[in-house]
Amino acid sequence: MHSLHDVSRSDQYRALGLSTFAFTVCFAVWTIFSIIGVKIKGELGLSDTQFGLLVATPVLTGSVSRIFLGVWTEQFGGRIMFPLQMLITAVCVWLLTSVRSYEVFLIAALGLGLAGGSFIVGVAYVSQWFEKEQQGTALGIFGAGNVGAAVTNFAAPFLVVALGWEGTARVYAIVLAITAVLFYLLSKDDPAQIERKKTGAKPVSAADQLAPLKNVQVWRFATYYFFVFGAFVALASFLPRYYVGAYGLELTTAGVLAGLYSLPGSVFRALGGWMSDKWGARFVMYLTFVVSLVCLFVMSYPQTGYVVQGIAGEITFDFGIGLSAFVFLTIVLGFVMSLGKAAVYKHIPVYYPHHVGAVGGLVGMIGGLGGFFLPIAFGILLDYTGVWTAPYMLMFVLVAVSTIWMHVAIRRMELRRHPDLEGELYLSDIPDQPLEKPNSPDTDEPASGATKPA
């Protein structure tokens, strides 16, 4: 990695602060359909599957675009790519207000989805300003911009009541355009871009940037992110609809309760980065998955009536989760998911320091695709099962698969290092320190070119 000894603290804080603010605004725009989509659903008479597709479409663009935006940011710098991405998105959000048919809404939603690509632009830009010992915390703070989903859940319902969904979209477009201009005026070129200009070096080719994607390990990190980020986006979009349908709440109340999930799912990402720096990203991932399994198991249990043949006759009783208990579980789930999001991205600059844009872009793309496919899957499950809690059953299976894959990969690595450990494996025996050779099997060993992790 390039030297950062000439970078001042104020420059680091400026880059981190501006990027976090811009990402927050972008994320608020990216999840706007979770609120205005409820109104559009009513106007167009959409089914749950159609509504799920509408909510998920912006996530598709925001996900697929990440791998390209990551490579371009490595080549041209975040100071150029961030404002450009925001201005294009702002135009798309404004044009959304002139649409009236469902099919054209889907096309407009594709353009709006570019807001989600801002994440990898920020990761590639911010990571250039900090040494690897600080990157977990810095990227965790930046990732807290996910709080934009909570901003939308809290504020957008009231804007819709006051201005209508069209007026809400216009407000979002104007704020995004202003943010783009301010970012360009106030930000600076990152150290890597400055060094490249001084030396006249050519940007790394896209082919070289994409080379690490052949490693199975990269795809495993992406699977983790499919849950901790993709499911977060999907659930943030789905919860308002769930609260309205399952509990009969008003949209404004449902938005506030969904915001209680989105808020800890965002702001504690900085804590997850700090914990990953201090105790290791692997420990944080274990914590995330185990707690998520418990929460989702309880959340997925449907309202059920039981009839027991007792001595004196039938005994009937009901089991289900009350609104307060359910909201509490979503808060806990959002909290551990925020820790997991930071832990996944702690891995990337450590294992792939020269390919942060490409590897981070792929991981972000796969994670974002979770935010695309899961809302659609939620809608299909609701339409075909008629069980409100079916989406949480799907998420439980997803976490279980990720947990098993992670544990098996870690165990394989530990047994390769310490054959005498067979039969016993303790969390304290699992340092976040890979072997010093390229990886071909799926283990937590670095790809070629990686530096020793913190």
**301 in a domain, yes or no?**
yes
* The pLDDT of residue 428: 37
* The pLDDT of residue 36: 79
* The pLDDT of residue 86: 92
- Domain range for residue 221? 9-192+204-308+318-429
**449 in a domain, yes or no?**
no
* The pLDDT of residue 206: 54
Average pLDDT per block of 10 residues along the chain, 454 residues long: 63 87 89 77 80 80 80 79 90 81 82 84 82 75 79 82 83 92 86 69 58 71 87 85 83 84 76 82 90 92 79 76 87 91 79 71 80 84 85 92 86 69 43 39 45 36
**357 in a domain, yes or no?**
yes
* Residue 160's CATH number: 1.20.1250.20
Q: DSSP secondary structure string, 2-61? A: ---TT--HHHHHHHHHHHHHHHHHHHHHHTTHHHHHHHHHHHHT--HHHHHHHHHHHHHH
**50 in a domain, yes or no?**
yes
* The pLDDT of residue 174: 93
* The pLDDT of residue 153: 75
Domains: count for the chain: 1
Which long-range contacts does 286-289 make (Cβ < 8 Å, 24+ apart)? Answer: 286/406, 286/427, 287/336, 287/339, 288/228, 288/336, 288/337, 288/339, 288/340, 288/343, 289/340, 289/399, 289/402, 289/403, 289/406
* The pLDDT of residue 203: 58
* The pLDDT of residue 432: 42
* The pLDDT of residue 451: 39
* The pLDDT of residue 305: 74
* The pLDDT of residue 160: 82
**21 in a domain, yes or no?**
yes
First-to-last C-alpha distance (Å) of the chain: 14
Q: DSSP secondary structure string, 127-181? A: HTTS-HHHHHHHHHHHHGGGGHHHHHHHHHHHHHHHHHHHHHHHHHHHHHHHHHH
CA atoms within a 13 Å half-sphere pointing along the CA-CB vector of 401 = 13
At residue 189, what is the residue type? D
**451 in a domain, yes or no?**
no
**453 in a domain, yes or no?**
no
**454 in a domain, yes or no?**
no
* The pLDDT of residue 292: 94
